[in-house]
Structure 1
């Protein structure tokens, strides 16, 4: 039985610039490639029913024959399953099933390099040591029921101490432990954003945040982040204030610390203004600090919440995790908020889960308490890999313009032509999996952009850029004069 039907308007929105205006692929092939990419990205879930052929053709402004043929191609490739008298439902080829949203496929260049994730592999020795320490610390918890919706006290205190060390007075009562930062955001959306309410977001922003907002019925309101403005002017603070007032947004979700995908970091004056906006508009500002420890050139300013003491303190909420600084497989995140909001969040959590696993929490305690040495080792590795990626791009794709932020795990690149969706659809045939630019935006934006993480080893990055260059060349894009890199 199918999960649900995907509307034609939603498919058209997510397809973005799917057409091959240069005529290298027939329209049906370009459409099939675009839909296949949406399946790989997770924007069309497995088991969902695609729109009817006539309905989608009308929405896209193409003939029904084009849609019928595209569906036939997808059916032959194993991406659609059809039964007499029912709509086609999404699947993936049996040989391509693998963990994660993107199937891995062989290529002539060797194993596929997956650049759809900005995440590093685990520091094996440190993680093993952390779980060993957790096992030793576990016995006192075995005499309890083991379900702590707030999080265990020792971890909440360790997280609070991190904030105090950064100049933000925090008590354990202001901390709630979650199963990762994404879980934290989902809990906050459930409490702070009713269906139909508007949520301000950076534009571009983290794709899974957009998905979470839409999942609860929220309406993302994009406010541009402009890399050419540099760290002090990249965020349109006036635009955020105006949008908050004009839309009566109940909440904003922003990433001022090594923004994903640009790597930019908002300066201290900008953070103070964000806190003022939250106070003046009575809008809850959710600050995502997931990348805060991944600084490469300079550490970040003090947390946004340091500017929100007193009457504005309840209007600035911070979320964080250990996924970028240590390992994504350790699903430990947290929320720092006013104690009253923490109580509300704990009350609502029981509808989804009853707490984060104790062993994982104890492992996180160990990692947070061992000091900054292991994290600095990862920063140094990222600096090296960033340099490798920039060198390869300069040699093979000199007309692409990278934004080089002061931290994070990825470059945000502007291409000479709006071919991001087509490139992401073509790249797997050349040994690379990419996240297309429109994944990071609203209503099909960012067709001229692509995010390239440098979280993979140097040899994989070299191989990936070679594959991307080959895929880009296959698109036959006319090269325009190069612009200088945006070093901020």
Structure 2
């Protein structure tokens, strides 16, 4: 395959034309490195010569030469005589994926569709640079901020208020991702005081938690690990995709009397369903009537891909509810910054519960998030645009190569939820490894078992990889149909 060549004008269009902070060679190298890490400069592309870049960008040949030398030293480019300078990613000792998430080891030739997580957004490196300049002000203190940095809590509270859920910064607790927030919430809600347990009808009812099926696998593991007894509500499925029957949920709560609920009304993971305004109000009424304290996961709330006004946030409709969110789906999962919005009368109890788990999120990453929030709307718009294109590409691949699969394209989120003609998703996930594809079987998303007819297909990997999914998926599906066994259905731990 021929190597793509970037002209100097194209490179300048990607990284900008300055002004360059002194020393200019370091600023130029940092801009190129940032464009490589966030995917704007593709791996394998050939950069313009040092002389050509100098002429276009308005810097000396010495400056561009020193910038390229620094990029070589940092392993962002590989320069060979006759081949020019080729873009690459630096070697990461131990790999880019933790062994706990991929026990069998990562293969560079595999396409990993097990995770709904994007690569880093543009300006991550710049945000770290700016955050480091602000870190000194915090060093004289202990560095412990169990509630989170006040400046970040104010930003998050203001965003809730502008969405229609008036919020004070004291109601915000910064956590290690939305997953960390959900773990704190579950622990706090299930660990109730004796008088409240008596009011709720005894200790037995306080352990029950209502969840959707399918749902986020790590939430299932967290709830079960906290001692919750899961009350499963199967999402309805019709011609328009998955949806909630709030009357059925109302009846289920009346029969089972759960203490809490973990629900994903905004571009539900894994189905991509969005709960409508009327259903939200009906659900809020039912939750209040049955005295259920819900935890709403808003990790994907900003990823609507078709435009239009979003329904009211659930926190505006039911005051005694907890909401969790994070920056992982917009900026980068490596930041590990999330938050909780907590009812005022529960703040102290939740804060005490949090101190039993950790002493707060890292200060530097919180400062990085503050910096990124300055351009949040632009980053969100760019993320939506990339995901919309990727969604449509993957949907076309599935429809072309496995046309007997049923597919309803979601209006938001980060994955397709496909129905297979046969209950063989576990077998498919095994067969796929023979064709360079890593998948997660449907039963992983099932709190009470089943869902072997379903497969989640994230569209968060780069588009050149998505273009290869179709033929690999078709070959794996043919192999899966020929397998006599369907493989194990033990729930796996996945990222998101």
Q: TM-score range by the shorter chain?
A: 0.7 to 0.9
Once the two structures are superposed, residues 91-120 of structure 1 have per-residue CA deviations (whole angstroms, 9 ceiling, x without a partner) of xxx99x95342246688xx71111010111
The structure having more radius of gyration, on CA atoms, is 2
* Alpha-carbon separation, structure 1, partners of 2:180 and 2:150: 19
Q: What is the aligned counterpart of 1:162 among 159, 162, 168?
A: 159
Partner of 1:101: 101
Confirm whether residue 228 of structure 1 aligns to residue 238 of structure 2: yes
* Superposed counterparts of 1:18-29, under 5 Å: none
Q: What is the aligned counterpart of 2:316 among 286, 292, 306?
A: 306
Once the two structures are superposed, residues 212-232 of structure 1 have per-residue CA deviations (whole angstroms, 9 ceiling, x without a partner) of 00111112211122242647x
* Displacement of 1:242: 1.5
Q: What is the aligned counterpart of 1:428 among 430, 433, 447?
A: 433
* Alpha-carbon separation, structure 1, partners of 2:102 and 2:181: 24
Q: What is the aligned counterpart of 2:293 among 284, 289, 298?
A: 284
SS state at 2:123 partner: helix
- 1:463 to 1:149, Cα distance in 2 relative to 1, 3 A: same
Q: What is the aligned counterpart of 2:410 among 405, 413, 421?
A: 405
Confirm whether residue 454 of structure 1 aligns to residue 459 of structure 2: yes
* Alpha-carbon separation, structure 2, partners of 1:252 and 1:286: 6
* Alpha-carbon separation, structure 1, partners of 2:419 and 2:427: 15
8 Å CA contact retained: 1:105, 1:428: no
Provide TM-score, normalisation by structure 2. 0.72
Confirm whether residue 215 of structure 1 aligns to residue 212 of structure 2: no
* Displacement of 1:414: 0.2
8 Å CA contact retained: 1:120, 1:456: yes
Partner of 2:132: 135
SS state at 1:297 partner: coil
SS state at 1:138 partner: helix
Partner of 1:179: 176
* Superposed counterparts of 1:48-447, under 5 Å: 99-103=99-103, 111-123=109-121, 125-194=122-191, 197-228=207-238, 230=240, 234-298=243-307, 299-308=309-318, 313-314=319-320, 316-447=321-452
Partner of 1:41: none
The higher relative CO (CA closer than 8 Å, separation ≥ 6) is in: 1
Once the two structures are superposed, residues 152-182 of structure 1 have per-residue CA deviations (whole angstroms, 9 ceiling, x without a partner) of 1100000001111112111101111101011
Once the two structures are superposed, residues 389-434 of structure 1 have per-residue CA deviations (whole angstroms, 9 ceiling, x without a partner) of 1111111000001121110000000000000111111111110110
**Which runs of 5 or more residues in structure 2 are unaligned?**
1-93, 192-202, 484-496
* Displacement of 1:142: 1.2
Q: Which moved more, 1:341-350 or 1:320-329?
A: 341-350
Once the two structures are superposed, residues 326-372 of structure 1 have per-residue CA deviations (whole angstroms, 9 ceiling, x without a partner) of 11111011110112322111112222211111111111112223231
8 Å CA contact retained: 1:262, 1:404: no
- 1:413 to 1:432, Cα distance in 2 relative to 1, 3 A: same
SS state at 1:260 partner: coil
8 Å CA contact retained: 1:112, 1:432: yes
